[in-house]
Amino acid sequence: MSIRINLTSVFVDDQSKALDFYTEKLGFVTKHDVPLGEFRWLTVVSPDAPDGPELLLEPDQHPAAKTFTAALVDDGIPAASFAVDDVRGSHARLVSEGVRFTQEPTEMGPVITAVLDDTCGNLIQLSSPA
């Protein structure tokens, strides 16, 4: 019996802004968008794996969430890491679309990584094989 990743989340300061960024800039597609009072159960998935792991764009309303995410950003620690085929190509495309990177593509042993600001309170790492 294997354990699989079904759902993971990032805290976001604005769900609508996050949905725009994750779909329009990063290319994810909306999986679930269910109203829950003031907020939504809002998940996105890779278009290459629509039945694969979901990323929950979770409101940062828990008292610890803002402190936690700010501490990660202050220390330069990504909240999540996403695989891409070509970090350098993805970096160039995203920079041309106005995405701000805090780390340019960098070789780190067997991978190349870059870190971007998702505009919603998080740093996100992209990685591909070197």
- What pLDDT does residue 1 have? 84
- Residue 86 Cα distances to 82, 90, 112, 114, 129, angstroms: 11, 6, 8, 11, 8
Assess if residue 2 is contained within a domain.
no
Assess if residue 76 is contained within a domain.
yes
Q: What strand order describes the sheet that includes 80-83? A: 80-83, 123-129, 111-117, 101-108
Q: What is the pLDDT of residues 30-44, one digit of tens each?
A: 999 999 999 999 999
Assess if residue 115 is contained within a domain.
yes
Assess if residue 1 is contained within a domain.
no
| Pairing mode, strands 111-117 and 101-108 | antiparallel
On the question of pLDDT at 112 being above 90, the answer is yes
- What pLDDT does residue 9 have? 97
| Pairing mode, strands 80-83 and 123-129 | parallel
In this prediction, residues 6-12 reach a mean pLDDT of 98
Q: What is the mean pLDDT of the chain?
A: 97
- What pLDDT does residue 94 have? 98
- CATH at residue 108: 3.10.180.10
* Residues 113 and 105: beta-carbon distance below 8 Å: yes
Burial class (CB in 10 A: 0-12, 13-18, 19+), 91: buried
In this prediction, residues 57-72 reach a mean pLDDT of 96
For the chain, percent of residues with pLDDT exceeding 90: 98
> For residue 120, how many C-alpha atoms fall within 13 Å in the half-sphere facing its CB?
23
The total domain count for the chain is: 1
Residue 59's domain spans which residues? Answer: 7-129
